[in-house]
Amino acid sequence: MTTRRSLLATSAAMLAALPLARPALAQAWPSRPIRLVVPFPPGGASDIAGRLQAQVLSDGLGVPVVVDNRAGAGGTIGTAWVAQQPADGYTIMMASPSSHLGAPLLFRNAGYEGVDDFTAIATFATGTAIVAVHPGLPVRNIQELIAHARANPGRLNYGSAGAGGANHMLGVLFMMRTGVELTHVPYRGAAPALADLIAGNIQVVFDSFSGIIGAVRAGQVRALAVTSPTRWPLAPEFPTVQEQGVADYDLPSFSAVMGPRGIPEPLVARMNAIINQALTQPALIERLAGTGNAPFPTTPAAFEALMRAQRGRWQELVRASGVQPEG
């Protein structure tokens, strides 16, 4: 299974293997502004990531990179539009597991296949989630949560931002890896799920680090673990789910840059190099940390391998969840 851990371990060697010479095609491109589509509304985490990507690429390429928000239908409207554009490097997009792995499984007529219809250009940032419980629940670590759930099958409710999303699938993966039975309660967003956790109406959430860390540090909820395979650098005091005895528990969260399938390799290599170099800069690292994220540099080949591995995992999780495609 390809994970962030294995990718980060090999990224340096793979990056060093990239050719230093820039073919003429890459030198001539770009000669006009580039469009970067964000398939979600302005103002959210995906939009913030897309605007950071656009700024980095604009600075590196010397042309405007214009953000185009094409939201709707769980990100499928903008993503399907990008898949249909010419593969000339002038249309790219902010990609995520939600837009490219989840949405094609959750919408019957998404209009694209999230891996095969796109060129993997560069990963940008990665995040984690926190497994948190209401303070009144008598558990303080993952093994105690498992034991409590086994003693009360189906009586622990976990909330998510909606059926089929990443924090729903993190719960499904937890049940698959531990054999416990939790009851899923979908909400219209992560904020109302967190509000109900604080109120004690549900007992568990698998929420994004940036979305829940404030409530954790205010003592409104209790953090048991982070879902990343290694401790999170922004909160190293929290152990991982894996180190607490749940093997192969990882559902990577990341933002990335993709484009229509067939973008020439020299253009892909140039964009990838610009992004990877920017991810070493303290100012950008600090801005990512402000959103609860960390730099995630890889090569295009490693990025595509990650997408293919995670596509299989998402297919497995959606089947296990019983969520039926919409539309």
- Candidates 247, 296, 6, 277; CA nearest to 124 is 296
pLDDT at 2: 52
Q: What tokens does 1 get?
A: 């299974």
One-letter identity of residue 156? L
Banded model confidence at residue 21, pLDDT cuts 50, 70, 90: very low
Banded model confidence at residue 13, pLDDT cuts 50, 70, 90: very low
Banded model confidence at residue 290, pLDDT cuts 50, 70, 90: very high
| Rounded Cα gap, residues 114 and 93, in angstroms | 12
pLDDT at 77: 96
C-beta of residue 299 within 8 angstroms of C-beta of residue 7: no
CATH 3.40.190.10-classified regions of the chain? 129-227
pLDDT digits (tens, 9 = 90+) for 293-313: 999 999 999 999 999 999 999
Flag whether pLDDT at 10 surpasses 60.
Answer: no
Give the lowest-confidence range in 2-16, 40-54, 71-85, 96-110: 2-16
Flag whether pLDDT at 15 surpasses 90.
Answer: no
Write down the CATH number for the domain with range 4-127+251-321: 3.40.190.150
What one-character DSSP code corresponds to residue 115?
T
CATH 3.40.190.150-classified regions of the chain? 4-127+251-321
pLDDT digits (tens, 9 = 90+) for 247-271: 999 999 999 999 999 999 999 999 9
Flag whether pLDDT at 241 surpasses 80.
Answer: yes
pLDDT at 326: 82
Flag whether pLDDT at 165 surpasses 60.
Answer: yes
pLDDT digits (tens, 9 = 90+) for 179-236: 999 999 999 889 999 999 999 999 999 999 999 999 999 999 999 999 999 999 999 9
pLDDT digits (tens, 9 = 90+) for 74-121: 899 999 999 999 999 999 999 999 999 999 999 989 999 999 999 999
**What length does the chain have?**
327
Q: What tokens does 110 get?
A: 């998404």
Q: What DSSP string runs through 216-228?
A: HHTTSSEEEEESS
Banded model confidence at residue 62, pLDDT cuts 50, 70, 90: very high
Angle at 258 between CA 257 and CA 262, to 5 degrees: 145
- Candidates 307, 304, 288; CA nearest to 296 is 288
pLDDT at 302: 98
pLDDT at 1: 52
Q: For a pLDDT cut of 70, what percent of the chain falls above it?
A: 92
- Homologous superfamily of 129-227: Periplasmic binding protein-like II (3.40.190.10)
The torsion defined by the Cα of 181, 307, 12 and 287, in degrees rounded to 10, comes to -70
| Rounded Cα gap, residues 158 and 166, in angstroms | 13
Banded model confidence at residue 176, pLDDT cuts 50, 70, 90: very high
Q: For a pLDDT cut of 90, what percent of the chain falls above it?
A: 87
